[in-house]
Structure 1
Amino acid sequence: MPRLRPPQPVSTVAIPETARGATKRTLQKAIHAETATAKLIQTSDSFQNFAAKVGIGTDNQSSGSTYGFNPISRNRGLLEWMYRGSWICGKVVDCPADDMTRAGIEMSGDIDPDDLDILHQGFNQLAIWPGINSTAKWGRLYGGAIGVMLIDGQDPSKPLRPDKVEKGSFKGLLVLDRWMVQPNYSELVTELGPDLGKPKFYETVVEGFAIPRMKIHYSRCLRIDGVDLPFWQRITENLYGMSVLERLYDRLVAFDSTTQGAAQLVYKAHLRTLSVENLRNIIVAGGKALDGLTGSIEMMRRYQSNEGVTLIDAKDKFETHQYAFTGLDEVLLAFGQQLSGAADIPLVRLFGQSPAGLNSTGDSDIRNYYDGINQQQELHLRRPLTTLLLVLATSLGIKLPDGWGFKFNPLWQMSDKDKAEIADKVSTAVDRVEGAGIISPKTALKELKQSSRVTGIFSNVTDEEIEAASAASNDPPDPAGMGDGEPANGDNPAAAEAVEEVSGQQRGVDVSADA
């Protein structure tokens, strides 16, 4: 049946902007007359059956449903109780943050391997990955957090210039959640770019605990929000996002209520009943009769516990009843699946539970989840990590070459077989180019040692062995300056094939959080 609705408050009679006086009043009267005489019009934009009361708007229970406003992101105490008191809330907050920072990055470009080792050590010594991890966690829990780059000798209220960082002045990250800093709303970023409209400065509001009062320029911050919000909702949250727990609140309550209810049923798994003649009269009479009944039951309970004997009167009747828990596991699983979908974390990661079904391993779910984590890394970590690497390199006295870059290492771990195959291919390629005279033995050993970060093989190659190989060999011949009778690489099939094999490889190192 088509749905009836009143006409839209848009008239076909328009009032020109130039209308004045009587003309304007005449047009207004025409509009009012048109609206008053308008009739209901039929629409067919949804299914409704008024006779059966089926469909939204047909006076049924579903028509009374709506969505409420429960902004728990503003309740810091509740969020902290949920994080501390519920393991599910803890995993929802922690798992994506841990996975975003677990595998680290791999840098690319014409960077000296020794410089890459120094950068790798700098990440570990300054606890860069733990700082990013905490920033992501508190951003997800509270709706927003910043990691401030601590640079000794610089005013934090001034814009960051990575090329002006003094050697050894970068001291790591200071993590501040949204309740520890106050954005300055009077000064927003007005420069065109991805930071347009965001706070230009943050002021710390926590005194003591070694955290000074300071004004921080946004260019010095690694900012991670929880759930991005539309403009007006972002205004209500002090220009931050929303806690990831806010959307899950109803599913969390449903899951915990179901789990706790099932746990309470365990106490009723073994029910016992005792039928006593004239029990109602004994209870009504009270006094010695009721005291005697109570004592008799207490004596029966005591002997059941100690001797396993049930003492009852010949006219009494004692029975046991077993409670069936059939279907409870399916209910719990259904709520768990809803929670997993709401958190966007697969069951195998959130609950450590493998999916049911024939030949189901959960690999596809994990791979899809890892793809989502990689998307989060690109959205939230790519830009700030680029700035952070420039600051770290300058502080360590390293000049990064033009065209340098990095990529996030995949979370999917290779098997021992995969690592062995990659090590075999790398060693074969290195051996061929070294045998063709394209690289020196020293460079070949460096390449093998560098590949150990991925494969775990050749990790025992020492710097002394590399230097010894350099001293025991001559520099590789210049292919363009070979003597008569010796073909250049273009005419040397072995050399040309070796160059072709390694030409697409990028030299880099795994700047890993777990190294």
Structure 2
Amino acid sequence: MSEDTKPRLRYSSDGTMIASNDGLKNVISGMGTERDRRTYSQFAYGSVNDIAELEAAYSTNWIARQVIDAPVEDATREWRTFSIDEGADIRKAENALNLQGVTQEAFKWAGLYGGAGVLLITDQPLDKPLDHKKIKKGSLKRLLVLDRMLITGMDFNVSDPMAVNYLLPNYYVVNGGRLPIHHSHFVRAPGAKLPLRMRMINQGWDDSQLRRCMEDIKDAVSAKSGVASLIQEANVDIISKEGLSDILSSGDMDTAVASRYQMFGMMKSMFRLGLLDSSEEYARHPASFGGLGEILSTLMEWVSGAAEIPMTRLFGVQSKGMGDSGQGDLNNYYNAIRSKQESDYRQFLEAIDKVLIPSALGSMPDDCEFDWNPLSQPSDAELAQQQLAFAQSDDIRLQQGVVKRSQLMRKLSEQGVYAISEEDIKQAEADEKAERDGEDFIPLGGIGGNEPGAAEEAAQVSEADPA
């Protein structure tokens, strides 16, 4: 075995053996050996969160702001609905405490800084565990948003894995204050997920969602700025003069030469006329802009991929491809938003609801659950097509006898499609009962009915066939 093909082993700080040359190798071409430059490429951790840079990017660049704000606004724009009878009272309490705005603010700061939360200010002391059984009507006073830069964790729980705050602080302290706040009063909003070891190093907080996009955002912004600067110099004027280098090297004529060509530029700007000596030559070289649009488009795609937001939502541009409206990308994006609603937003809101709902109603109702409203509203054409499909489906079920006319009337009345009164529904039910009773009554062996002449027809049949 040659020296280049021998496996080189190295050890980490905890003594774990790490192989440094795993993968495909070719000693003839040098691929995978020390002569391959790719062998020395590796990912490494930099600064986990440069807070000053993140804040500057969010405050000054619209792309960075959209990366943080767009997913949060899409996830909370249509909000939620409670199916219980007290849903209107819960909605009123949400509006009074601005729960929708508080949720948006908490998740935006969590995405920017890597963590944030909401402090539940009630009539119970903050330094004691929050007792949900003692929550009565009007107990919740305020919802206060605090990001990770405004609050510090203390006394981390590293010994009780059964507790809800395992590897998280038992108490928090607001920066500048002294009162310890028990963790049960603080509902955390997560940021971008980190491995468990990195989260412990980061004092229990997550990573910023903007940090992973910073390199691509910088590339896109710098390329756009470079193109804008290049447009300002679309044409470059060049004047050639014999012996100019000797004149400038002498050091005595620098000011005279600069004044000479400054005057030439001023005359050309004011009068579109330039005066040159017979020994001077003037040329204009236009700058080339070919391919710049493709470069910017590629950089925008990289930013869109890093942010996990389609270009139609992040930049408002049309998708590529004939007949592609970008609806497929938006559907995939909405599916990802729905997943975050269930995994992150629901857990966050249910923790707040344990205090907000008893404070609004006086007690916690049974089976008090909410559903997320659709993320997008259909257009008029889509709504009309959907209603037509529903009407055709109801008509088929009515013809098959699966449902009754009164049942369809009650369904339409509850949906608010038509102003059908309860008297109309009861009249339809009475008609259906009368029709059913008439079908069940079959006199004289099934001949006749309530129609005129039915009795005479039955008598004639009886005389013809006594049996």
Q: TM-score normalized by structure 2?
A: 0.78
Cα-to-partner distance string for 1:231-264 (whole Å, 9 max, x where unaligned): 2211111111111122223323332332233233
Quote the residue 2:17 is aligned against: none
CA distance in 2, matches of 1:262, 1:290: 32
Quote the residue 1:81 is aligned against: 56
User: How far is the alpha carbon of 1:8 from its aligned partner?
Assistant: 10
> What is the identity, as a one-letter code, of the residue corresponding to 2:297?
L
CA distance in 2, matches of 1:206, 1:243: 24
Quote the residue 2:280 is aligned against: 316
CA distance in 2, matches of 1:189, 1:128: 34
Q: Is 1:117 matched with 2:94?
A: no
Conserved? CA contact 2:310–2:333, under 8 Å:
yes
Quote the residue 2:119 is aligned against: 148
CA pair 161-327 structure 1, distance change in 2 beyond 3 A: same
CA distance in 1, matches of 2:9, 2:214: 39
> What is the identity, as a one-letter code, of the residue corresponding to 1:300?
F
Quote the residue 2:44 is aligned against: 68
User: How far is the alpha carbon of 1:487 from its aligned partner?
Assistant: 6.6
User: How far is the alpha carbon of 1:358 from its aligned partner?
Assistant: 1.3
> What is the identity, as a one-letter code, of the residue corresponding to 2:358?
T
CA pair 437-232 structure 1, distance change in 2 beyond 3 A: closer
Please show how residues 173-322 of structure 1 align to structure 2 within 5 Å: 173-187=143-157, 190=160, 192=162, 195-207=165-177, 214-287=179-252, 289-322=253-286
User: How far is the alpha carbon of 1:93 from its aligned partner?
Assistant: 1.4
Quote the residue 1:25 is aligned against: none
Please show how residues 375-390 of structure 1 align to structure 2 within 5 Å: 375-390=339-354
Conserved? CA contact 1:348–1:354, under 8 Å:
yes
> What is the identity, as a one-letter code, of the residue corresponding to 1:140?
G
Quote the residue 1:50 is aligned against: 27
> What is the identity, as a one-letter code, of the residue corresponding to 1:155?
P
User: How far is the alpha carbon of 1:47 from its aligned partner?
Assistant: 1.9
CA pair 293-44 structure 1, distance change in 2 beyond 3 A: closer
Cα-to-partner distance string for 1:269-309 (whole Å, 9 max, x where unaligned): 2111111122123223443x544433321221111111111
Conserved? CA contact 2:157–2:166, under 8 Å:
no
Given the alignment, which residue of 289, 306, 313 partners 1:325? 289
Conserved? CA contact 1:189–1:200, under 8 Å:
no
Quote the residue 1:510 is aligned against: none
CA pair 66-315 structure 1, distance change in 2 beyond 3 A: same
User: How far is the alpha carbon of 1:475 from its aligned partner?
Assistant: 11
User: How far is the alpha carbon of 1:142 from its aligned partner?
Assistant: 0.8
User: How far is the alpha carbon of 1:139 from its aligned partner?
Assistant: 0.7
Quote the residue 2:335 is aligned against: 371
Conserved? CA contact 2:102–2:143, under 8 Å:
yes
CA distance in 2, matches of 1:286, 1:167: 88
CA distance in 2, matches of 1:421, 1:118: 34
User: How far is the alpha carbon of 1:92 from its aligned partner?
Assistant: 1.3
Quote the residue 1:107 is aligned against: 82
Conserved? CA contact 1:437–1:476, under 8 Å:
no
CA distance in 2, matches of 1:487, 1:147: 61
Conserved? CA contact 2:110–2:147, under 8 Å:
yes
What RMSD, in angstroms, separates the aligned Cα atoms of the two structures? Answer: 3.7
CA distance in 1, matches of 2:168, 2:199: 10
User: How far is the alpha carbon of 1:405 from its aligned partner?
Assistant: 1.8
User: How far is the alpha carbon of 1:224 from its aligned partner?
Assistant: 1.6
Please show how residues 333-344 of structure 1 align to structure 2 within 5 Å: 333-344=297-308
CA pair 70-284 structure 1, distance change in 2 beyond 3 A: same
CA pair 421-124 structure 1, distance change in 2 beyond 3 A: farther
User: How far is the alpha carbon of 1:106 from its aligned partner?
Assistant: 2.2
CA pair 161-421 structure 1, distance change in 2 beyond 3 A: farther
CA distance in 2, matches of 1:215, 1:309: 77
> What is the identity, as a one-letter code, of the residue corresponding to 1:236?
I
User: How far is the alpha carbon of 1:423 from its aligned partner?
Assistant: 6.5
Quote the residue 1:94 is aligned against: 69
Structure with greater contact order relative to length (CA < 8 Å, sep ≥ 6):
1
> What is the identity, as a one-letter code, of the residue corresponding to 2:282?
F
Quote the residue 1:23 is aligned against: none
Unaligned runs of 5+ in 2: 12-19, 441-467
CA pair 99-172 structure 1, distance change in 2 beyond 3 A: farther
User: How far is the alpha carbon of 1:168 from its aligned partner?
Assistant: 2.2
CA pair 291-202 structure 1, distance change in 2 beyond 3 A: closer
Conserved? CA contact 1:187–1:201, under 8 Å:
no
Conserved? CA contact 1:140–1:227, under 8 Å:
yes
Conserved? CA contact 1:162–1:387, under 8 Å:
no
Please show how residues 365-514 of structure 1 align to structure 2 within 5 Å: 365-397=329-361, 401-420=365-384, 436=406, 447-448=414-415
> What is the identity, as a one-letter code, of the residue corresponding to 1:86?
N
Conserved? CA contact 2:167–2:204, under 8 Å:
no
> What is the identity, as a one-letter code, of the residue corresponding to 2:117?
I
SS of the aligned residue for 1:309 comes to coil
CA distance in 1, matches of 2:426, 2:303: 61
Conserved? CA contact 1:181–1:204, under 8 Å:
yes
User: How far is the alpha carbon of 1:188 from its aligned partner?
Assistant: 5.7
CA pair 485-314 structure 1, distance change in 2 beyond 3 A: closer
CA distance in 2, matches of 1:199, 1:344: 31
Quote the residue 2:99 is aligned against: 128
CA pair 119-421 structure 1, distance change in 2 beyond 3 A: farther
SS of the aligned residue for 2:210 comes to helix
> What is the identity, as a one-letter code, of the residue corresponding to 1:87?
W
> What is the identity, as a one-letter code, of the residue corresponding to 1:123?
E
CA distance in 1, matches of 2:40, 2:340: 38
CA distance in 2, matches of 1:393, 1:439: 35
> What is the identity, as a one-letter code, of the residue corresponding to 1:243?
S
User: How far is the alpha carbon of 1:360 from its aligned partner?
Assistant: 1.7
CA distance in 2, matches of 1:380, 1:357: 35
Cα-to-partner distance string for 1:83-118 (whole Å, 9 max, x where unaligned): 11222221111111212211101223xx22xx3222
User: How far is the alpha carbon of 1:6 from its aligned partner?
Assistant: 5.6
Quote the residue 2:463 is aligned against: none
User: How far is the alpha carbon of 1:402 from its aligned partner?
Assistant: 2.8
User: How far is the alpha carbon of 1:399 from its aligned partner?
Assistant: 5.2
Conserved? CA contact 2:167–2:200, under 8 Å:
no
